[in-house]
Structure 1
């Protein structure tokens, strides 16, 4: 195993010239501890100087393979020249003007493009804000305005942001919500579909969710059901077949707005434009962020025209929402995604990771489940032969990988999931190297 690691590192893999973290990163981390609130943690205290393609280079000159890409943000690769050129050109024209006062064409054209790409052929409208959490907040606003109802439901193991409203919608309170209450009222968390743990069919899981909604919330009071088609922070939980269509049928029948939070799983990440497409679902509202502008702050709320028009004139907006530079970057991202090669790359990555992780699982029974679609794959660590999670176990794998030059990020409500969110330009050779590192980590920590 050691020889394999050395060979990979010397040829196609990461290049480490100091210990990890190196002396410059440690010095910066000391400054960060003194200057930045402790609530903003650093899972891997390696301080990045520059990046390109699938690579991150830290201030000590260490080169890391980035399989997290900023929690999925830099999906099309770091330092994509077409995106840089688009943003730079816009910087030379107009850096900012408030769209609600003096609008601009780029915003309108991006709204048109998202209306075309999101699921369904119905009339749609789109607004832009700065972050995923803002997108969730605005989806809730328009759903309440449209239905005249107050209650909102989200699924167990879901994650929707760090604002007061979204903290109430999240499954996991620690550490995200600790000490920050009271929280927004009329928010309900309901059972999800978690096939690995619950063993239910999609119909059975949907019946359980719907029974909870009808008995504990009441459909007459429910404005919106917010779902991640594939749950991100919760551990890349893929619902059982038929689960989401059954929820859509129920929401349609009961006048409830179905909101698909595609902030992490949308825009090509799963090998399709939107993860909802994988399940045959046409949500009423679709949320995009993360990948949409390759690192510049932008998020979109795209919904049925009649729902989006429910808010009064002036009821939606914000100073920086849809900033022209971010909008220009987003157009460049969508231009890249128009090429089928990007989706093919996502599917290739998913196949390589899934096959490799299943091979590893054959001799590491601590891997209880391998799941996901496209360039959104995860494995869950459990007590061998059971579905019982090993709380916090993913951190040791991530830390070991960092010392071998691979950036992995953890997930799961129990901290027992490693998730892969690589750039789409990562090669199979690099993925195989990362799998070797994971195998080595499991040999040491099983």
Structure 2
């Protein structure tokens, strides 16, 4: 493994992060578990950054991909009709709830967000965009400009004129202790103030994650985006919901994250879990917005027949097995269990989440300050105990987890036990 690590570092960029002091190579997977090159098994609570949405070696997905491979057609491009692309677009348009919806497929969430920004700025004739503090929308030039997290922002240059809003930052002094209603009112006041002071007319759009992924699964209280949309609608400002991490029932309480706010956006972007590991992203939007741009467009690999076969099979599996309900059920086991344990563990600053999308904020037990070193220690401990977790947050002190939606109740309890054991170890060391 040390040889592979040395080879990796010789040819891969230094900024391409690897987890763990001794990184692992995953060589096998079945169900909700993976195996590394040393033969060690792990319960996977991060799913390739929320991408292996229904686990590993799923017969329905494998069979669909093999049937497409057997035709000999791996790729055609969007210059030709692709039946599976049309079928998937029909399903997504229906599920979105967006009127007269149309769908465009890309390779990733970054490309999907770039497309949404293009459609919004074209429709409104403006480069002005609103986004949320602590957000992350991808690593391209435009996506970085609407990202609000210094750890992920390489460039202050921007093709857009961006203003950032409150909504997922209740830890700040001016908001601490507020009720949901008071916090929403304060955020709406700030939005109106931004529109009155910081922008010219004709703002293009607000782009927002219903639950911030890289931000550490921080989230606005339910209803905030409905209150924001009332203000946006007054000025014709479009609303883009970035569902790259919150889509397909993961929150348990809604099929798309924004539905927890009672909002139907003008556009939604998606990616990650839809292909269960195969590269697929896209955007679903009102037909008039999607049809608006006058220039010709295509996507060479977007809508690829292999990815479409995998995505159709994955989405059908999610719907046929009601995995949204399973996310609510198993997520409640884990989140309630973590909150119960947090009361006796001073290193836990907060437990938050919805469904199978949950996070633990670690703090210095003496000062309450964010504790990224403790988060790193937790990662090593869960690895030792046989569970894969993720890390993030504005200060690098958040453990974020999103197991496959196929997680069983027994696996949820098993994972909860490992998480609590790891927290106890970190808490004891931090005393």
Counterpart secondary structure, 1:443: helix
In structure 2, what is the Cα distance between the partners aligned to 1:71 and 1:241?
24
Equivalent residue number for residue 303 of structure 2: 322
Equivalent residue number for residue 163 of structure 2: 188
Deviations 1:150-176 (A, max 9, x none): 1112100111001111112111122x3
Tell whether the 8 Å contact from 1:267 to 1:273 is kept in structure 2 after alignment: yes
Following superposition, the deviation at residue 358 of structure 1 comes to: 1.0
Q: How does 1:94-109 map to 2 (within 5 A)?
A: 94-99=73-78, 101-109=79-87
Q: How does 1:45-60 map to 2 (within 5 A)?
A: 45-60=23-38
In structure 1, what is the Cα distance between the partners aligned to 2:87 and 2:320?
19
Equivalent residue number for residue 285 of structure 1: 267
Tell whether the 8 Å contact from 2:223 to 2:260 is kept in structure 1 after alignment: no
Counterpart secondary structure, 2:211: coil
In structure 1, what is the Cα distance between the partners aligned to 2:412 and 2:27?
23
Check if 1:165 corresponds to 2:142.
yes
Counterpart of 1:226 (choices 202, 207, 220) is 207
Counterpart of 1:125 (choices 97, 102, 125) is 102
Check if 1:146 corresponds to 2:127.
no
In structure 1, what is the Cα distance between the partners aligned to 2:222 and 2:407?
30
Tell whether the 8 Å contact from 1:383 to 1:390 is kept in structure 2 after alignment: yes
In structure 2, what is the Cα distance between the partners aligned to 1:216 and 1:398?
44
Following superposition, the deviation at residue 386 of structure 1 comes to: 7.7
Deviations 1:170-212 (A, max 9, x none): 11122x333x553334122222233455344353243244135
Check if 1:155 corresponds to 2:155.
no
In structure 2, what is the Cα distance between the partners aligned to 1:130 and 1:97?
15
Counterpart of 2:19 (choices 43, 62, 87) is 43
Deviations 1:255-305 (A, max 9, x none): 111000000011111123211111211110011100111111111100111
Deviations 1:341-393 (A, max 9, x none): 31121011211111110121011022122111111111212345986433443
In structure 2, what is the Cα distance between the partners aligned to 1:256 and 1:292?
28
Equivalent residue number for residue 257 of structure 2: 275
Equivalent residue number for residue 177 of structure 1: 153
In structure 2, what is the Cα distance between the partners aligned to 1:307 and 1:106?
23
Say if 1:37 and 1:241 are closer, same or farther in 2 by CA, change over 3 A: closer
Say if 1:217 and 1:138 are closer, same or farther in 2 by CA, change over 3 A: farther
Tell whether the 8 Å contact from 1:227 to 1:260 is kept in structure 2 after alignment: yes
Q: How does 1:237-256 map to 2 (within 5 A)?
A: 237-256=218-237
In structure 2, what is the Cα distance between the partners aligned to 1:193 and 1:205?
12
Counterpart secondary structure, 2:115: helix
5+ long unaligned stretches in structure 2: none
Following superposition, the deviation at residue 439 of structure 1 comes to: 2.7
Deviations 1:9-30 (A, max 9, x none): xxxxxxxxxxxxxxxx333212
Counterpart of 1:65 (choices 43, 51, 63) is 43
Counterpart of 1:135 (choices 75, 89, 112) is 112
Tell whether the 8 Å contact from 1:219 to 1:256 is kept in structure 2 after alignment: no
Tell whether the 8 Å contact from 1:190 to 1:212 is kept in structure 2 after alignment: no
Counterpart secondary structure, 2:420: helix
Check if 1:404 corresponds to 2:385.
yes
Following superposition, the deviation at residue 41 of structure 1 comes to: 1.8
TM-score by length of 2: 0.92
Counterpart of 1:339 (choices 309, 320, 335) is 320
TM-score by length of 1: 0.89
Say if 1:216 and 1:403 are closer, same or farther in 2 by CA, change over 3 A: farther
Say if 1:282 and 1:332 are closer, same or farther in 2 by CA, change over 3 A: same
In structure 2, what is the Cα distance between the partners aligned to 1:387 and 1:208?
29
Counterpart secondary structure, 1:28: helix
In structure 1, what is the Cα distance between the partners aligned to 2:95 and 2:274?
13
Equivalent residue number for residue 335 of structure 2: 354
**Aligned residues between the structures:** 417
Deviations 1:218-255 (A, max 9, x none): 26231010000111111111212321101111111211
Counterpart secondary structure, 1:241: coil
Say if 1:385 and 1:275 are closer, same or farther in 2 by CA, change over 3 A: farther
Deviations 1:57-105 (A, max 9, x none): 1111111111000110011111111111111211222211111x21222
- How well do the aligned residues superpose, as a CA RMSD in angstroms? 1.9
In structure 1, what is the Cα distance between the partners aligned to 2:328 and 2:171?
22
Counterpart secondary structure, 1:426: coil
Counterpart secondary structure, 1:128: strand
Tell whether the 8 Å contact from 1:287 to 1:302 is kept in structure 2 after alignment: yes
